Structure 1
Amino acid sequence: MTGSASDQKFSLSKLQSLLGVSRAVLSGLVSAGFVKPVRGRRNELRFSFQDVVLLRTAYQLQSANIPARKILRSLERLRTSLPAELPLTGIRITAVGNAIAVRSGPAQWEADSGQLLLDFEVAQVKGDVAFLDSAPRGAREAHIQAEEWFELGEELTATDRRGAEHAYRKAMELLPVAHYGAYTNLGVLLCEDRRGEEALAVFDRALEYFPEDCQLHFNRAVALEELDRGDDALDGYRRCLELAPDYADAHYNLARLNELRGDRQGALRHYNAYRRLQEP
């Protein structure tokens, strides 16, 4: 996948809310080579519309226990069939027998052959992209409404925090599956507002859906610190580092907590790790 950063309009956090999967899962798919995003001005990952569709496809096939080699081969063929931008008619990608079929409006074409198990749509929502899993019409409409509430929450966070909280809770209520972005943003908002118990409850619920997500474990540990539960926070930061050893902020917070507890050796170890990770 090539192109300049300006052509890649989706951030990693936006992908999380679109696909409903954790940062760890997305990072794993990127590391496996399913897509090749570019770097933005601040060295952040940026994804194209094609990347979004390919990652969703890879996740579906991976969940169906299809071998990585078959997924890579399928995606390479699918990649050549995808437009650079989402057409006004939307796109439907589905399994037809043993092939991937791509349909845009009245046109339908085969993109791959092999053992594939997926069936989803890509549709316009306020000029952006939303995925609609095969489901009754009511569930699809709920998915769209949940994305709109989530986007409203993002818009309101800086100016109307109560309104943002309401919007995130509506997104969580409407979406049949866990909305990673809504859980994450709501938990952070509550923590920033010194509502630690509520934030902790949100992160605990999110971890039921995304137990291996390092960001959720980190955020939960921050909430525990707000509640003066330092020992539990230490465990949370350690769990974060088990999942993501290069998570610099977790090293820093562990160093700080160890220092407060008089564990100079532990503090030094994590401060050194933090400084090493901050080097250019």
Structure 2
Amino acid sequence: MTLDHPETPHTLRSIQEMLGLSRSAIAGLIANGFVSPKRGPRNAYRFSFRDVVLLRTAHDLQQADIPTRKILRALQRLKATLPEELPLTGLRITAVGNSIAVHDRESRWEAETGQLLMDFDVAATRGSVAFVDRRREPTAPAVSAEEVFARAEVLESKDMKAAEAAYREVLAIAPDHADAYLNLGAILCESDRQAEAAHLYDDALHRLPDVPLLHFNRAVALEDLGRLDEAIQSYERCLKLDPTIGDAHFNVGRLYDHLGHRREAIRHFSAYRRLQK
């Protein structure tokens, strides 16, 4: 789709025709704060080139079920970098891994991180703005995630920094690789970076909420940080998913006992002893 004369403010009707969005969809995006178009004659909306880009981006991210708060955070940063009018070099906005990447012919920068399912171009073509959908199958990585994971495991006994980098490479290739999260988090905790580990586990659980050991490892990191109530919640979530993890019963029982909750402590210590038989 193209729009001639990009320096001219765009009307609601032209936005509908260009982006294929209904009037109510555009109104909803405005109401949610994604764009703040100016008003023209008869109080009608007037959209800039930047508004067009933000509307299209917000719509695509909503269709990908990205939370509104995350979209707003990304677009606030993106809005600060986009020009009001079409740059001569053109722009390209794509989802790269967990980030929104903004490109022009001279530079490339991130607007926000997050798992985004959006890839389209905004390009200058003979004075027009062209939106080109680029939804293609991802190119297979040259090295598989499992190959890099195996290398990372070997590196743990030789070079911890290299192992950490390798596990991060695994997650760049396969963002849902639970074992890579577990091992990387363990490395972070062993190097006294518990806060970073807890943040890593939060990201992991956003993708993999039903992996018990991710909850367990998160609880260990939170316990080391002194965030005992949160640690208890993570241990309990771990046990809800898998009540046979004895160490989770023991650890949460110990925390309950420390906080003076004797009944809960006894319940978990009893479960721990039963599992040891």
| TM-score (structure 2 length as normaliser) | 0.48
Larger Rg: 2
Q: Which structure would you say has the larger RCO, counting Cα contacts within 8 Å and 6 or more residues apart?
A: 1
